[in-house]
Structure 1
Amino acid sequence: MDVNAYLDRIDMKPPHAADAAYLRELHRAHQSAVPFENLSIHLGEPITLGEPELFDKIVRRRRGGFCYELNGLLALLLEELGYSVERLAARVFGGEHLGPPFDHLLLLVTTAGGDGPWLVDVGFGSHSTYPLDFADRAEQRDPGGVFRLADAPDGDVDVIKDGTPAYRIERRVRTLDEFRPTCWYQQTSPDSHFTRGDVCTRLDGDGRITLSGRKLIRTGAAGRTETLLDSGEAVLAAYREHFGVILDREPTVRNPQDRGERADAAQP
């Protein structure tokens, strides 16, 4: 991996030490620079999880991705920088029900000095701005909300945001290859919410900016505003201006039965 090119992509300099302070800064910088997006699905671009393909898409072509891509590539960067990384699977809550196994990929990261583990997740859309202390079961206040980790049956751990369960983590360590079948399902199945709507979102200060369909949404301390874009040209211009994403055509939703307004609940 070209570590310097990746760090340039997220406007970070190499660390003096692979410590918790740098990890916090990197976690925020990544979410500010690299959008969570599922546009490949609606552009007819296959999503693969090989390191060269992920690096080319996210770093060289300055695109984003969903959890398998964003957390998958970030894990490799963190290991290059000297952190210890565990790749874990989670099932996303949809109301009272849980999604399928390998529904989401997240990371547990320990510093070179043994500090942690920290829950690192730059691939869940609207989530924590900074890493969460995985051992702490008290409320953790973050610009992204109030988070709490709760022990669940069978040694699992629930991540709860603002009182609402987000996902349930299985503690067994996984490899990225184990997520390939569910990655295929997420991009092809009519039952996957990723095929039902397009979304592109990133951290913007302590708020968030999102483009879903032709709706540009801003959320922050001042509240929420929505702007409806009136043409495909305006959509492409918004991708360039707000996300640094250059497309030659507007994404076309493949499975429009539930067109995505996933700005505040974008998942894996």
Structure 2
Amino acid sequence: MIDLDAYLARIGYAGPREPNLETLRGLHRAHLYAVPFENLDVVLKRPIQLDPAALMQKIVAGRRGGYCFESNALFMYALLTLGFTATPLAARVLWERKDSSLPPRSHMLLMVDLEEGLFLADVAFGGQTPPQPLSFAVNLEQPTTHEPYRLRRTAEGELELEALMAGQWGVLYRFTLHPQQPIDFLHANWYTATHPESFFANNVIAAIPGESCRYTLFNKELRTRRPDGTVETQVLGDAKALAAALQERFGIVVSDAEATALSALG
């Protein structure tokens, strides 16, 4: 399905390949720390392709990142190639949402079936991506290398993933266990990448975790956020500073022309 050796080299993973929980944890961490969440191609008006060959070309050969439909899809193809049972799911993003109405399902995550039970795997939720696979046990507070997470069941029977930030639980997204088909993500991806009012089409975004912190780029602001809620912000004054931040913090190399186009936002 994909060139597994090339993918594993890209994320720097040299551990076991048996389809078990230890391998899943190792792959999840390696992918998350090597492949940044980013939407640069969306902002630059380039098509976002989700087939395995395109994902390998962009993320592995091109050493780029991607947003959820790209990064989580590539992670899924790697898991399937290794013999895991991984099912794609779709979620409604509620993180920091002020509107009480429910948004469309615009986030891709994975359900992985293991001997120990079902696990949620998500390597691409931007600045709040879970740093490790999470058990599907409801109401169980699960410590991680960063913040604690938990799953809660809504009155309608759906699931919500929450994270504890600065002493407060916040909902990241709401989802069901209904399996999704590739066409479902093609539609969601098209809207997210091309709709004139899409959040991703109008803002430059990148994110990657550090040790005991998270780095995020939002337009001209480079932020370092810690679990206690403190945030350090560096304003990137021009295209040169933006290009340097993308390369040094997120491992993304852009041309002068791309940096100029990206810095025009925000």
When normalised by structure 1's length, the TM-score is 0.88
Alpha-carbon deviation of 1:132?
Answer: 0.7
- SS state at 2:23 partner: helix
Aligned to 1:174: 180
Aligned to 1:100: 104
Unaligned runs of 5+ in 2: none
Aligned to 1:241: 248
Aligned to 1:127: 129
Alpha-carbon deviation of 1:150?
Answer: 1.3
**Structure-2 separation of matches of 1:155 and 1:55:** 37
Aligned to 1:138: 140
**Structure-2 separation of matches of 1:155 and 1:9:** 39
Kept after mapping to 2: 8 A contact 1:197/1:213 = yes
- SS state at 1:26 partner: helix
Alpha-carbon deviation of 1:2?
Answer: 0.8
Aligned to 1:86: 87
- SS state at 1:140 partner: coil
**Range with greater deviation from structure 2 (41-50 or 57-66):** 41-50
- Letter in structure 1 aligned against 2:259: E
- SS state at 1:209 partner: strand
**Structure-2 separation of matches of 1:239 and 1:5:** 23
- Letter in structure 1 aligned against 2:198: S
- SS state at 2:253 partner: coil
Alpha-carbon deviation of 1:221?
Answer: 6.0
Q: Which has the higher contact order (CA 8 A, sep 6+)?
A: 1
Alpha-carbon deviation of 1:255?
Answer: 10
Kept after mapping to 2: 8 A contact 1:87/1:105 = yes
**Range with greater deviation from structure 2 (90-99 or 240-249):** 90-99
Are 1:207 and 2:207 an aligned pair?
no
**Range with greater deviation from structure 2 (91-100 or 75-84):** 91-100
- SS state at 1:172 partner: coil
- Letter in structure 1 aligned against 2:25: R
**Range with greater deviation from structure 2 (233-242 or 148-157):** 148-157
**Structure-2 separation of matches of 1:106 and 1:226:** 29
**Structure-2 separation of matches of 1:255 and 1:104:** 27
Aligned to 1:250: 259
CA offsets 1:24-71 (integer angstroms, 9 cap, x no match): 122122111101111111112111111111111111101111111111
Kept after mapping to 1: 8 A contact 2:43/2:200 = no
Aligned to 2:201: 195
When normalised by structure 2's length, the TM-score is 0.88
**Range with greater deviation from structure 2 (203-212 or 2-11):** 203-212
Alpha-carbon deviation of 1:89?
Answer: 0.9
Give the superposed CA RMSD: 2.1
Of 222, 226, 250, 1:220 maps to 226
- SS state at 1:142 partner: coil
Kept after mapping to 2: 8 A contact 1:72/1:176 = no
Alpha-carbon deviation of 1:164?
Answer: 1.5
Compared with structure 1, are the counterparts of its residues 196 and 23 closer, same or farther at alpha carbon in structure 2 (3 Å cutoff)? same
Aligned to 1:44: 45
Alpha-carbon deviation of 1:152?
Answer: 2.3
